[in-house]
Structure 1
Amino acid sequence: MLELNILAVQNADVLRALATPAGRRTIPSVSALAALIGRDHSNLSKTLKGMEGAGLLHAEPIANGLTPDGLLQLEAINRAETAEGGEGLPDGLLALRHDQILPDPDNARQDWTSDEAKDELDALRADIVKNGLLQNLVVRPMAEDDLQDATITVVTPAGELTLPRYRLVAGERRWRAIGEAINDGDWEAEEPILTRLLDRDAKETRFAAIAENLLRRKLNPIEKAKGFEQLAELGFENKLIAERLGYTPEHVQQHRRFLKLDEADQQRMTLPRDDPKHLSVRDARQKLTAKDNAPKPIDLTPAEWLAAVETIFAAYEMTEYGNLWNEIVVAPDASASPEGARLQALDVLDFSGIKQFGSRLGRFVVKRGYGAPLGVDWCNPPLPAGLHASESRIAALREAQAKVFGAEAPKWDDEAPVLGTPWLADPGELTAEGSALVEAARVASEQRAKEDQDRAAANAARDAVWAEARQRHLRLLAAAQERPEAGQPDEVVSIASDLDRPLPWQALPSGIIAAANGKTVKDRLNHYAAPSEQELAINQMIVVAANAAGGVLTPTPAQADAPSEEEFVEAITAVAADRRPDLTEEQAAELAAQILASFLDDNGVEFGEDGFDWTHEGAVILTDEHLAAAGDTPTGDDGTDDAGADQDEAA
């Protein structure tokens, strides 16, 4: 058995105060420890030195706590006080080693190996290592049928020590997370774990009281759920609660799940059934199912959470025409920061490269990601409730900064918001690339301004020339109205040249009047149809009159090439050979000559006369008509006229 150290017994309050990392974090100095346990500061400093020399405390005990011997002494003191009716730790707490605690095999949760369970456990392990165990485990003494595991023997520097073991009632995830930390070397196996001990007699007394309340009163579903939850907190499983109260385990579990509803929905379940706002059990189940299927909130670090809050705030309040989707200028390395990279990976924020144009030219910006979740509950912790409301947005930002920084929150000048995320608060100077873009834009802007100025000057000069030409034209027209003869030809030529439409003009078959330099004097009246004979005649009259007034000859439009009788006969020959594969080349040529001669004779015309089609298409039509009349047109397998199909294709 371990012999109690008199120094440890005399200073049990010191051992208890320094036993856990969470406890030590609340004690910044020896003075604070003295105030906590009611000791004199100078005497306590000497006591700590003595306990350190006795091997009970590590060096710098305020930071490093108890040695393994110190922990064993504290455990022995606790057991001795419990056995002798002492008070023990406050609120019935025990300081137990991890291996003194055994999980309950009847725990409803059995999934500890799935990827999701492992991820949750790893996150909890990291939190406990960083912040300590913030919520105590709950244990009970070993049951009478469970005594084979009632003790454990551990090896200490002072020898072997037999310690009692306890069965876990609540907190198996935390217990397993501490076990993972021990395996990783982040938590000492001897490090005490504060636990709350449930006394069996007290448990049974409490069970009887709650059970009587559950069975004798007509309770609404929420009241019943809270009763079941109280029994579960005492360490009773759903199955045992159901057996002892006459329910099914499913009934107990279902009612306990109702406590996961929002407070408003729980309140609705307490209303009378005839109340329009009453929430039925069936509807409550559906809400819980939808809640279970909803995406789980994303855990954010304080820096990530604040960056998300301040980006939304800046988009609304620190940009022109505030809008949730507005871009905010940030520092060049914003996307590489830990919080920026994580939020971009989650599609909460979207960082752009350097802006190539616009009012933020040369800058780096961030805006809301296109896949960003809506509302404020998509993350853990939730975003401030008033962040999206203009009247409460300032207060929401202050609240968020106080939550993250505490007393170190940014100080606002004249109530003007100051952001706490570094890459939002100070975008910094332009990078070399950004400065080059801005300079290039300035040069391009000046160049465009000069080009616009030159263009305006050229247009003004051209307008002046045209205005002068117009005045000369008006004088010429006035002179022409006073005498029947035309003005001087050189005057007409000069006006046409001033208008950049030099004589002679020419009327084209397309309906356009063109000047000598190829520029259009008059466009077609109708762009979607061939010019009419009337339009062509008017155009020709305009051209002749203008050219005559200028004393120049009117050019004769180029005539289309005259049709070739030889080429027309060759086309008929080719079609005939195609339609009549049985013909030789000589026979096809003879047939072509006969077809043309017959056509000319029947119509009383000469080859090339106007009104007839002497093109290749005309040869196809003429040949097919002749063969069809003679009954020589071959047909396809389906009885259709192959020649007709070819004719359509030719057309």
Structure 2
Amino acid sequence: MNEDQSKKRLGRGLAALIGDIEAPDESGQAVAVAMTSDKQVPIELVSRNPHNPRRSFAEESLEELAQSIREHGLMQPVVVRPSPVNPQHYELIAGERRWRAAQRAGLTRIAVVIRDVDDRTALELAIIENVQRADLNPVEEALGYQQLIDDHSYTQVDLAQVIGKSRSHVANTLRLLKLPAAVQQFLNEGALSAGHARCLITAPDPVHLAKRIVQEGLSVRQAEVLAAEKPDEKAEKRLPQEKDPNIKALEQTLLDKLGMQVVIQYGNKGGGDIRIRYKSLEQLDNICRRLQN
């Protein structure tokens, strides 16, 4: 089997290797793959994968998961492979957030699923798991794609087949790496969405515009208008004026209370909307619980 055939086959088989994510069956339909633990191992024998595309782990989210593990145990095992540097140890493929939270919770042993795979497949598995769970921020996703391109000679078409995304999604995500470091940091923090960031790629001054988007809570459409403006045009006339200090103070109060960024936008007739930006499914669950209560 040549390399191109192998990459196409991996698009179907990787999800089944990792388990617990949507894997396509022979008809191409997504089916749930159950994942059961191979065994329990001392948690100190498991180390993180230095090539894991995920770099950011929200402190609040980790603590919430750690508390859940203290109360209910670890509900889902982590996926590991034998360590390339120490055969008696294991290296994480997927589940680093669960592994970190388990250590916080004081677990001495952790349930693992063992997969004997090479570096390339381990990276593919990590990217697929994180992308399908929406755990990666846009910059982390782009860096993971770029690593497969640089280290394993993937094309954008190969990546699209393996991760189950369109080629345009892969191309647009990779373009985010062209943004200045300051803008990428806003993406890492969740202050900017991928939609905002794509507007900034062609902006004359992406850093200045990124700061304005964050400070004023501008929508993607408003950001597109600003990014398309020529330097001598007065786009400010068509955009919201400086936000009322009382509204800013209320946003800060809600941020302190929820631990999540809150943007309040209001109209001339007294109406408006509130947007709460969450960084993980745990934060979304927390919001839903509060609203239901």
Shorter chain as denominator, the TM-score bin is 0.3 to 0.5
Q: TM-score, structure 2 length as denominator?
A: 0.32
Instruction: Select the structure of larger CA radius of gyration.
Output: 1
Q: TM-score, structure 1 length as denominator?
A: 0.18
Structure with more contact order per residue of length (Cα contacts < 8 Å, sep ≥ 6) = 2
Name whichever structure is richer in strand by fraction. 2
